[in-house]
Amino acid sequence: MAHVLVAYATKHHSTAEIAEAIADELRARGHVAEATEAGHATAAGFDAVVLGSAMYLGRWRREARHFLSHERARLEAMPFWVFSSGPIGEPKADAPPEEDKWLEPRKVIEQAEELGVREHVVFGGRVPEDPGNFMERSMLENTPEEFRDRRDWDEIRAWADRIADALPA
Ligand SMILES: Cc1cc2nc3c(=O)[nH]c(=O)nc-3n(C[C@H](O)[C@H](O)[C@H](O)COP(=O)(O)O)c2cc1C
């Protein structure tokens, strides 16, 4: 059994719900897991870490970026996994490669790879339901209802299961 921190950075809470689902699944698999906002978390005392952030304008949120750099020595010494949450709207089959930069935080992935991250995945996100500015309001208005929440809970739980399998029983 491992003691796992699931640290997350969110603005509109949808990434927090992903982190909670990962922690729930790890607990269901017999591990001890807690989901905590990255800004209030430390990896000290844990056996493994899952770190995730919502994507805004091609970047992770600051709290998750800070966690990665402040906790680098601890992360380097333990298994850790990383996820980003972002894509919303109708999936595009033929998106040009230059659009990839909006999906994956390249610098973060490079830093995580230097520290030995086991895996980085991208989960679908949810359009802010409580828009706080013009951009968020127009996103909400211009996204058809069926593509506003692209989080796939089976995919999220399956990823958490892979993590559970890789941790000491
Ligand atoms: C202003 C704005 C910018 C965004 N930029 C990106 C982006 O660059 N890449 C991406 O994949 N998703 C982007 N998104 C989608 C968010 O990542 C998505 O809504 C996510 O689920 C929000 O997470 P949160 O609810 O935890 O804050 C953007 C959303 C907004 C409102």
DSSP 30: T
Tokens of 123: 């989960």
97: left (phi over 0), alpha (psi -120 to 50) or beta: alpha
Measured in Å, residue 86 CA sits from the centre of ligand 1 at: 5
Please report the atom of ligand 1 found closest to the CA of residue 9.
26
Tens digit of each residue's pLDDT (9 = 90 or more) over 95-130: 887 777 888 899 999 999 999 999 999 999 999 999
- Which SS3 state, helix, strand or coil, does residue 20 take? helix
Q: What is the mean pLDDT of the chain?
A: 95
Tens digit of each residue's pLDDT (9 = 90 or more) over 81-99: 999 999 999 888 788 877 7
Q: Which of 5-14, 70-79, 100-109 has the lowest mean pLDDT?
A: 100-109
Tens digit of each residue's pLDDT (9 = 90 or more) over 16-30: 999 999 999 999 999
Q: Report the C-alpha gap between 19 and 94 in whole angstroms.
A: 30
Q: Report the C-alpha gap between 4 and 163 in whole angstroms.
A: 10
- What domains can be seen in the chain, in order of their start residue? 3-166 (3.40.50.360)
12 ligand 1 Cβ < 6 A: yes
Q: Is 142 exposed, middle or buried (0-12, 13-18, 19+ CB in 10 A)?
A: exposed
Measured in Å, residue 143 CA sits from the centre of ligand 1 at: 13
List all residues 6 or more positions away from 75 whose beta carbon is below 8 Å from its beta carbon. 43, 49, 68, 115, 116, 117
Q: Which of 29-43, 74-88, 89-103, 145-159 has the lowest mean pLDDT?
A: 89-103
Looking at ligand 1, which residue's alpha carbon is closest to its atom 6? 56
Looking at ligand 1, which residue's alpha carbon is closest to its atom 4? 56
